[in-house]
Structure 1
Amino acid sequence: MGDISLSKAVRSNLLSLQNTSAMMAKTQERLATGNKVNSALDNPTNFFTAAGLNSRAGDLNQLMDSMANGIQTLEAADNGLTAITKTLESMQSTLRQARQDKSFQTQSFTIDNSTASVSFSGGAFASDVSDVGPLAVTGGTYAEPAADVTLSLTSANLNGGDALDVTIETGATMEEAMASINTALKAADGGKGFTARLNSDGDGIEIVSKYGEALSVQADVAGTGFATTATDATAPTSASVDDLVTAINGNSNTKGLVRASNDNGKLRIENLSTQDLDVTVGTANAATIDGNSVRAGLADQYNELRDQLDKLADDASFNGINLLRGDKLTITFNETGTSSIDINTKGEEAINSANLGIETFMQQATLDSDTNIDNELARLKGALNSVRSQSSSFGSNLSIVQNRQDFTKNMVNTLQTGAANLTLADMNEEAANLLALQTRQSLSSNSLSLASQADQSVLQLIR
């Protein structure tokens, strides 16, 4: 083609047409891609700056997936804690129902002249308790002392375990002596467990341990009917219903485990337990009193709820992570890894009945005592406080992650917008440019045609 000579006018118009075609191709590329910078050749600074911004936006977008999974993991843990809270509240309700239930079984026994004590086996008793009844030290015939007499009364439950010395003054009548003894006893233990009264014959003094606690009495000199050597209290030949009621309700081995009362002259025994109780009154009058079936059933309900509590904690997982089992969730917030959060339970301990400090298996016998129930209720309250505290902590963590997620979304948008501002084309402008270039191309073609007419005139001369 170099051998072909073109006129100056033709060559000028051809060059103009070629430039117009090149500009049209560039404009069409911008319209097709939507970018005014499609390669580093177009604008190196804008191209590489936009590439860096888009790269960071892409990295942050990948972290958004991790944040979304983290939020779902926290929500799964929160669902578990909510269910555990409701379960703990149900366990509280079960124990309160047991606390209010008083459907203990009773049995009434006829007392004869040979009955002096009662024996118990089973029920709330860890071991058999025999011969519960009043004990007494019975003095002989009382005589007004010719000199002061000191009586030493000794019992583990009297006067702090120390001997209680009572002075019977010279010439004191039997009534005055009994009054002196009862005054000293009242000062020592409030007059609850011990008393002085007339013996069965009415001619002497009898010092009674009403609750059946061991007691010994010793006089320093003779004259009041009591021996000058220590005499231990023994069971009387018979005891009244009221004496037995007082002994059973006050004895340290039976108090709170059974309850006794006077049922129109009969001894009524109430079994304060979920287990069957064997009672022997005297030597031959025996019976079995059923346990409290309502409280026993509530103990089983409690155990079922406790089992569900642990299963709820085991099932509160998402994507293989269970915060309630002590797993750790790590969420990264930026592309360099310098900003992150570790989420786990306090001490990375599992949320279960053992770590919450509640009874892992409720024995029916635990519900025998209202005191035991109150203790379990206190433990459940502490467990509820722990769960609510952990729920609050997870809620705070969830708020942090959600805030970072919103921030990252906005940051990605900012980065992508910045990159777009550097590279995107103005479509309206490019469309107008294309229209202008098309017009210019048409004009250039016409000019080229006019320029070539001069050469055609020479051709006509040759013809």
Structure 2
Amino acid sequence: MSDAVQLSSSMRTNLLLLQQTNTSTAKLENQLSTGNKVNTALDGPTAYFAAQSLNQRASDLSTLKDAMTQAVSTIKAGNQGITSVQSLVGQAQGLLTSAYANLGTDASSISTRKSLATQFNAIKDQIDKLAGDSGYSGKNLVAGNGQGFAATSTSVATANSITAISNAKVTNIVSADTYSIRVSGTGAVTGAAGDIADAQTNRGLFGLKVSGTLSSTAGNFSDVSIAIRGAVGQTRSVVVTEGDESRTINFFDNTQSVSNTLSTAGTSGVKQLSTLTITGNVDQGDTFTATVNGRTFTYSASAGDVTATDSASRENAVAKGLRAAVNSGLAASGYTIGTVSGTTNTFTIQAQSATGTANTFTLGTSASNALTKDISLSFSSGTVVSFTIDRKSLEALGTAGNGTSSIEKNVDISVTATDLNGVSVTRSGANERGSAKLADGENAFAFDTGTVRLNVAAKNVLQAASASGAANISTAQTTAAGTQNDLSVQFNQNNTSGLTVAATNITTSGQGLAIDYAQNDFLDRSDIDKAQAQLTNATNVLRSASQTLSTNLNIIQTRSDFTDAFNNVLQDGANNLTQVDQNAAGAQLLALQTKQSLGVTTLSLANQAQQSILKLF
């Protein structure tokens, strides 16, 4: 165009250089302000996309790092559960130590072991609750895989249908099995020989015998206790107790007597008439004597005489007996022996004749305790306790004979459980205490596959034995194993590297620690031994589980630390591709600013050359 301004070549060159310098300066200023030499794909496509890839990988790893941190917390929660359960197992071990220290068969030791068994069961329940509370973020690494077993309802109902059997169940199930239950025996009752010998020696008894047949409606397995009370020369008593029943018999009380009174004196033409009276507490074997003109007549109270519980009936019976003895000896000599009329306790003796010396006679009477006393007592359970008390022997013991002796009652009734392998466990009422003795209430039968528990009612167990009661209890899996509590941890963004922490079971079930409820209230040493073996196994399981979790925790922690470090490597790599070297950029900017200043100066000089032409005009 004719009107366009024409620049000289030097001015155009300087202007172009100045524009390039300004562009470079603006670029450096942008890099220094953002810190990046590559801010967009236009700045450097290769570096930009390479850095973006590294940053995305670092972001993915950061997400995985968070998951690893949560996994670490989940494992720590499980490990804390194991540590706490180990503490409870230690407490249970202490209870067993106390149980071993109280292995006596006396009532106090048995009661102590029963209390310890109750405490043991409470700890077992707390272990299960603690294990259930050890979850974190929806995962519980110590609650197992969900596999469970139980006795089938049909077989339990069949077992409970046996007379005297109730609350049948199987606990601590390790694997499925079938158990055959059978009740047998005659119900014959005997006393432990050692207890009988001790009672005879300590209580001054002879011929002590515990016998009978267990009642089919009111039976029990209770011990028999015999207590002697009193003092020499005074009333003695024996108290025999079985279960809720007690019998008290007094003897050697010295209250029995036979007295005589002169009803009519013998005079000329009148016959002497004397009356004999029986009074006091009459026991079998008490002796009553009447002496008439030097002839002695004796009668000892028989078992039939003392059948009645009231004193009047006993006195009447003895009066009849002594009257018969006197009558048999004197009636033929002309004496007249009166009858015992009605329910009175008296009879009369009348002299032979009304004339001469025959109209009078001398009369003496006396009574004494029996030298021995035979006692036989029956209880509603079917138990019969019989023994003889010897007065001289008891008096020789003095007050040392006082006290209580307990006799363990043995009953021929057995309950047997047999598993599919033919292994049988029997609890019998005929066993000595401390050796699988059948008891009223729950009885446990331990097998490798589980523990059968039955409530046995002593009151009517003979009915089951007489009917040969039998049934099968079967166990089966109720829940399948699963992996819902397993913990999976991903270590890289491609999920080609990871770790699965399998959940373990530290509940007391047969699939876990296999700690069962106390068997038979720790009545037998073998019951305590079983609990001891279970705690030993549980301790080993807990140690193994703790070691496994610790190993997994270390692996995850190591991978977490690696992820942290590797993340830094990726971010550093991305930064190296995109970030500007501020020192170099600063130096370059200073150089460009100098260049820019020089460019402006050069352009100004070029322009001055044009201006000098104007001076010519």
Secondary structure, counterpart of 1:324 in structure 2: coil
The answer for the alignment partner of 1:329 in structure 2 is: 487
Q: Which amino acid letter does the alignment assign opposite residue 114 of structure 2?
A: A
Residue 382 of structure 1 and its aligned partner are, at CA, apart by 0.5
Q: Secondary structure at the match of 1:3?
A: coil
| Whole-angstrom CA distance in 2 between matches of 1:357 and 1:96 | 23
State which drifts further: 7-16 or 88-97.
7-16
Q: Which runs of 4+ in 1 moved over 6 A?
A: 357-361
Q: Which has the higher strand share?
A: 2
- CA offsets, 1:240-267, max 9 Å, x none? xxxxxxxxxxxxxxxxxxxxxxxxxxxx
The whole-number CA distance in structure 1 between the counterparts of 2:48 and 2:100 is: 77
Distance 1:16 1:358, change over 3 A: closer
In structure 1, list runs of 5 or more residues that go unmatched. Answer: 105-269, 277-294
Relative to structure 1, is the Cα distance of residues 2 and 13 closer, same or farther in structure 2, using a 3 angstrom cutoff? farther
Corresponding position of 1:5: 6
8 Å contact 2:114–2:521 — kept in the other structure? no
Aligned to 2:524: 369
Match of 1:340 in 2: 498
Asked if structure 1 preserves the Cα contact closer than 8 Å seen for 2:92 and 2:120, the reply is: yes
- Measured at CA, do residues 358 and 333 of structure 1 come closer, stay the same or move farther in structure 2, by a change above 3 Å? closer
Q: Which moved more, 1:356-365 or 1:80-89?
A: 356-365
- How far off is 1:45 after superposition? 2.1
Match of 1:438 in 2: 593
* Contact in 2 for aligned 1:323/1:344 (Cα 8 Å): yes
Q: 1:331 to 1:2 in 2, by over 3 A?
A: farther
Separation in structure 1 between the aligned mates of residue 519 and residue 49 of structure 2, nearest angstrom: 76
Tell me the equivalent position of 2:571: 416
Moved more, 428-437 or 367-376: 367-376
Aligned 8 A contact 2:61 2:567 in 1: yes
Match of 1:454 in 2: 609
Q: C-alpha offsets along residues 22-50 of structure 1, whole Å, 9 cap, x if unaligned? A: 01111111111222222222322222222
- Equivalent residue for 1:274? 110
Per the alignment, residue 58 of structure 2 pairs with: 57
Amino acid of the structure 2 residue aligned with 1:458: I
**TM-score normalised to the size of structure 1?**
0.56
For 1:369 and 1:56, locate their aligned partners in 2 and report how far apart those are by CA, in whole Å. Answer: 67
CA distance in structure 2 between the aligned counterparts of 1:418 and 1:2, rounded to whole angstroms: 57
Counterpart residue number, 1:19: 20
Report the Cα distance in structure 1 between the residues aligned to 2:29 and 2:3, rounded to whole angstroms.
31
| Alpha-carbon separation, structure 2, partners of 1:42 and 1:414 | 23
How far apart are 1:3 and its partner, in Å?
2.5
**1:308 is the counterpart of 2:126:** yes
DSSP 3-state at the match of 1:323: coil
Q: Write out aligned runs for 1:190-229 (5 A).
A: none
Letter of the 2:120 partner, please give it. Y
CA contact (8 A) 1:367 1:373 kept: yes
Structure 1 residue 379 corresponds to structure 2 residue 197: no
Residues 20, 72 of structure 1: alpha-carbon distance in 2 compared, 3 angstrom cutoff: same
Residue equivalent to 1:429? 584
Q: How far does residue 454 in structure 1 lie from its aligned partner after superposition?
A: 2.1
Q: Is the 2:11–2:606 contact (alpha carbons within 8 Å) kept by the matching residues of 1?
A: yes
Change (3 A) 1:92 1:2: farther
TM-score (norm 2): 0.42
Q: Deviations over 1:163-192 (max 9, x none)?
A: xxxxxxxxxxxxxxxxxxxxxxxxxxxxxx
The residue type equivalent to 1:332 in the other structure is Q
Instruction: Output one character per residue of 1:276-324: Cα deviation in whole Å (capped at 9) or x when no partner.
Output: 9xxxxxxxxxxxxxxxxxx233223222222221121111111121111
Offset of 1:103 from its aligned partner?
6.7
Q: CA deviation at 1:271?
A: 4.0
Rg comparison, structure with higher value: 2
Instruction: Flag the structure with higher helix content.
Output: 1
Query: Is the 2:118–2:521 Cα contact (8 Å) retained in structure 1?
Result: no
Helix, strand or coil at the partner of 1:23? helix
- Contact 1:330–1:342, Cα closer than 8 Å, also in 2: yes
- Give the 3-state SS of the residue equivalent to 1:325 in structure 2: coil
The CA deviation at 1:377 is 0.7
Aligned residue pairs: how many?
Answer: 276
Structure 2 unaligned segments of length 5 or more: list them. Answer: 145-484
**Aligned residue runs from structure 1 range 155-174, under 5 A:** none
* 417-426 vs 375-384, which moves further: 417-426
What is the CA–CA distance in structure 2 between the aligned matches of 1:372 and 1:45, rounded to whole Å?
Answer: 78
Which residue type is aligned with residue 19 of structure 1? Q
